[in-house]
C-alpha cells in the first residue's frame, strides 16, 4: 500500500539546536497512525514541518507517492493536509461557523453567504454524528474541550482533507470526552482518510491506532503495526529509543 503521506530524511534545527534527525514517517489511507514520544521528542515540530509552518532544513515530503513542496500552510491545505494544532486550533471570539470557514469564507457577491456556510457546517457536524453542540452560532469560547476538538476535526472534514493530523487532541479532556474524540478519530479513518494522532496516552493509542511511530530525541525509533507490539514495548521505545530488536541500534547522543 502506498502511504498517502510520507516524509524522508527530515532534518530541522532551531538555531544551534537540532530537533529532528533524518526523520522518516508514513501515514496510510484508512488508518490511524499514532505518533508517540516523550515531551520534547519533536512531535509538534515534525507536524509543523509537514504543515508548512516551519521550513525543513533537508529531506523530502511525498503526497500520494508524488514529491511535493510545502512552504506554507496554504500549500499543505491545497494538498488536502489539515492539521489541528495543539496550540492554535480555534479562535475563541468567533462562533463555530466562523471558525470552520475562517480564511475560506463563502461569498455571495460582496457579502458573506452566511446561509450556505451555516448549512454546510451543520451538515458536516451531523455527518460526523456530532450531537453535543447546541448551536453552531455559539462562540467557541463557550464550548467544552471535547466540543472544541470536535469542531476542529469537523473543519478538517469540511475541507475535504485527505490527511488529518491531530496534535494531542485529548490532552485536556476528561474520560467521556476523550472517548468521543477517539470515536470520531476512528470514524474519520474508516471513511478512508489518513489520520495521524499525536498522543502519549497508551490507552488511547492502543484503543484507536493501526500503526505506531515512536520518536525519541528527534529520531524515529520505530514504526510498527499496533497489533505487533505491547504497551510495554512502546513505553520502552518512548523512554529509551529501543526495545529488544526494535528501535535505534546505535547509542544516540543528543
Ligand atoms: N520554535 C522553537 N524554537 C526553538 N526550539 C523549539 C521551538 N519549537 C520547539 N523547540 C524545541 O524542539 C524540541 C521539540 O519540541 P516539540 O516538537 O514541541 O516536542 P513534542 O511536541 O514532542 O513535545 C524541544 O526541545 C523544544 O524546546
Ligand atoms: Mg507537542
Q: Is the pLDDT of residue 251 over 60?
A: no
Q: Pick the closest to residue 43 from 216, 224, 244 (CA basis).
A: 216
- Residue 47, classed as helix, strand or coil, is helix
The atom number, within ligand 1, closest to the CA of 45 reads 17
Burial of 129 (0-12, 13-18, 19+ CB in 10 A): exposed
- Closest residue by Cα to atom 3, ligand 1, is 14
- Ligand 2 (single-atom ion) residues, CB below 5 Å: 43-44
Span from the CA of 91 to the centroid of ligand 1 (angstroms):
23
The confidence band for 88, taking pLDDT boundaries of 50, 70 and 90, is low
Query: Inter-axis angle of helices 175-190 and 145-158, to 10 degrees?
Result: 10
Stated as kind and residue range, the H or E segment containing 146 is helix 145-158
- Ligand 1 site, CB within 6 A: 14, 17, 19, 37, 39-45
Position of cell 497512525?
33
Average pLDDT over residues 29-39: 97
Average pLDDT over residues 230-254: 86
- pLDDT tens readout for residues 133-142: 788 898 988 8
Span from the CA of 170 to the centroid of ligand 2 (angstroms):
12
Stated as kind and residue range, the H or E segment containing 23 is strand 17-27
- Residue 168, classed as helix, strand or coil, is coil
Average pLDDT over residues 158-184: 87
The confidence band for 253, taking pLDDT boundaries of 50, 70 and 90, is very low
Length of the chain: 254
CA atoms within 13 A on the CB side of 165: 25
pTM, 2 dp: 0.89
Average pLDDT over residues 70-84: 92
The confidence band for 254, taking pLDDT boundaries of 50, 70 and 90, is very low
Q: In a mutational test of the pocket of ligand 1, which residue from 12, 18, 40 has the highest number of ligand atoms less than 8 Å from its CB? A: 40
Q: In a mutational test of the pocket of ligand 1, which residue from 21, 44, 45, 219 has the highest number of ligand atoms less than 8 Å from its CB? A: 45
The atom number, within ligand 1, closest to the CA of 37 reads 22
Quickly list DSSP for 195-210.
Answer: EEEE---HHHHHHH-S
Average pLDDT, the chain: 90
Span from the CA of 160 to the centroid of ligand 1 (angstroms):
29
Average pLDDT over residues 148-162: 83
- pLDDT tens readout for residues 188-207: 999 899 999 999 899 999 99
Helix, strand, coil abundance in the chain, percent, nearest 5: 35, 30, 35
Which of 44-53, 86-95, 162-171, 242-251 has the weakest average pLDDT? 86-95
Tell me which of 207 and 150 has the higher pLDDT: 207
Complete domains list, the chain, with CATH: 5-247 (3.40.50.300)
Q: Is the pLDDT of residue 252 over 60?
A: no
Give the closest ligand to the alpha carbon of residue 168: 2
Other CB atoms within 10 A of residue 170 CB = 25
- Residue 243, classed as helix, strand or coil, is strand
Span from the CA of 16 to the centroid of ligand 1 (angstroms):
13
Amino acid at each position: 500500500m502506498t502511504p498517502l503521506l510520507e516524509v524522508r530524511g527530515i532534518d530541522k534545527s532551531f538555531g544551534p539546536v537540532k530537533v529532528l534527525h533524518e526523520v522518516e514517517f508514513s501515514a496510510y489511507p484508512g488508518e490511524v497512525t499514532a505518533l508517540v514520544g516523550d515531551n520534547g521528542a519533536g512531535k509538534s515540530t515534525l507536524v509543523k514541518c509537514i504543515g508548512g509552518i516551519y521550513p525543513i532544513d533537508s529531506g523530502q515530503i511525498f503526497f500520494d507517492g508524488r514529491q511535493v513542496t510545502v512552504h506554507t500552510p496554504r500549500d499543505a491545505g491545497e494538498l488536502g493536509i489539515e492539521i489541528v494544532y495543539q496550540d492554535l486550533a480555534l479562535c475563541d471570539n468567533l462562533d463555530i461557523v466562523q471558525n470552520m470557514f475562517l480564511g475560506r469564507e463563502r461569498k455571495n457577491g460582496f457579502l458573506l453567504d452566511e446561509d450556505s456556510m451555516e448549512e454546510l457546517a451543520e451538515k458536516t457536524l451531523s455527518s460526523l454524528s456530532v450531537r453535543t453542540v447546541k448551536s453552531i452560532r455559539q462562540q467557541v469560547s463557550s464550548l467544552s474541550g471535547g466540543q472544541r476538538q470536535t469542531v476542529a476535526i469537523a473543519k478538517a472534514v469540511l475541507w475535504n482533507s485527505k490527511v488529518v493530523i491531530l496534535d494531542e487532541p485529548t490532552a485536556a479532556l476528561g474520560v467521556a470526552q476523550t472517548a468521543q474524540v477517539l470515536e470520531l478519530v476512528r470514524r474519520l479513518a474508516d471513511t478512508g482518510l489518513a489520520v495521524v494522532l499525536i498522543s502519549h496516552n497508551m490507552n488511547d493509542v492502543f484503543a484507536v491506532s493501526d500503526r505506531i511511530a515512536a520518536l525519541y530525541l528527534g529520531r524515529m525509533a520505530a514504526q510498527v503495526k499496533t497489533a505487533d507490539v505491547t504497551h510495554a514495548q512502546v513505553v520502552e521505545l518512548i523512554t529509551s529509543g529501543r526495545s529488544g530488536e526494535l528501535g535505534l541500534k546505535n547509542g544516540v547522543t543528543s
